[in-house]
């Protein structure tokens, strides 16, 4: 599947609120945002989901539990199978130890669902164990197919699940 057009992405990035567009091909995306949550620069298509799912060797584990997580739920549902595909790809990328700049959103889309990381401050990365714990916290507190996210103030980042077409990271 071809990545979205640059013109579409450039037009999207100039909007006043950061909404993940609907209809994107399954894959990994990233965009920077300002202190108010407005997209800045261009949305970048990183790779197709099939390329994300390449075998990665898990690197060192982080802590055993997230410090002081705040769980948030929304009154919306995701297609669980789509979310499971997106979050599996997210965990594979987390295993690679890639660091993301401050004020960066990274998401993996599958069908209508997305799994995402919002990095609010400093260079930061995702960790498989954190993603798994955040997913469990949202499952337990919100429901297995309910939209939700976990914010970790100590790390100034959040992990979540959502549908395309809505705002993330603010």
- The pLDDT tens digits for 26-45 are 999 999 998 888 888 888 88
Supply the range of the domain harboring residue 103: 6-49+67-163
For residue 11, is it within any domain? yes
72 within domain boundaries: yes
User: Is 168 part of a structural domain of the chain?
Assistant: no
What's this model's pTM, rounded to 2 decimal places?
A: 0.84
- Look at residue 137 and tell me if it is in a domain: yes
135 within some domain:
yes
Range of 8-12, 38-42, 59-63, 92-96 with top mean pLDDT:
92-96
Q: Evaluate whether residue 158 is within a structural domain.
A: yes
Calculate mean pLDDT across residues 99-123. Answer: 95
Looking at per-residue pLDDT, the higher value among 133 and 43 belongs to 133
In the chain, the number of structural domains is 1
Q: How confident is residue 155, by pLDDT bands cut at 50, 70 and 90?
A: very high
* Cα→Cα distances 120→5, 60, 62, 71, 127, Å: 27, 23, 19, 17, 16
C-alpha torsion angle, residues 132, 57, 122, 106 (rounded to 10)? -60
Which positions ≥6 away from 101 have C-beta within 8 Å?
32, 119, 123
Cα–Cα distance, 36 to 15 (Å, whole number): 12
If phi over 0 gives left and psi between -120 and 50 gives alpha, with beta otherwise, what is residue 111? left
Q: How far apart are the first and last CA of the chain?
A: 30
Question: What rounded mean pLDDT belongs to the chain?
Answer: 85
């Amino acid at each position: 599947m071809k990545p979205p057009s640059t013109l579409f992405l450039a037009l999207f990035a100039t909007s006043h609120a950061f909404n993940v567009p609907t209809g994107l091909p399954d894959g990994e995306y990233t965009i920077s945002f300002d202190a108010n949550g407005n997209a800045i620069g261009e949305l970048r298509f990183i790779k197709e989901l099939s390329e994300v799912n390449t075998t990665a060797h898990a690197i060192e584990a982080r802590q055993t539990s997230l410090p002081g997580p705040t769980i948030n739920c929304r009154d919306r549902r995701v297609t669980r199978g789509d979310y499971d595909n997106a979050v599996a790809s997210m965990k594979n990328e987390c295993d690679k130890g890639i660091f993301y700049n401050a004020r960066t959103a990274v998401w993996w889309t599958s069908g209508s669902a997305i799994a995402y990381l919002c990095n609010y401050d400093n260079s930061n990365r995702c960790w498989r164990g954190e993603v798994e714990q955040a997913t469990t916290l949202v499952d337990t507190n919100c429901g297995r197919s309910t939209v939700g996210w976990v914010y970790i103030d100590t790390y100034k980042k959040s992990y979540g699940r959502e549908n395309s077409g809505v705002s993330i990271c603010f």
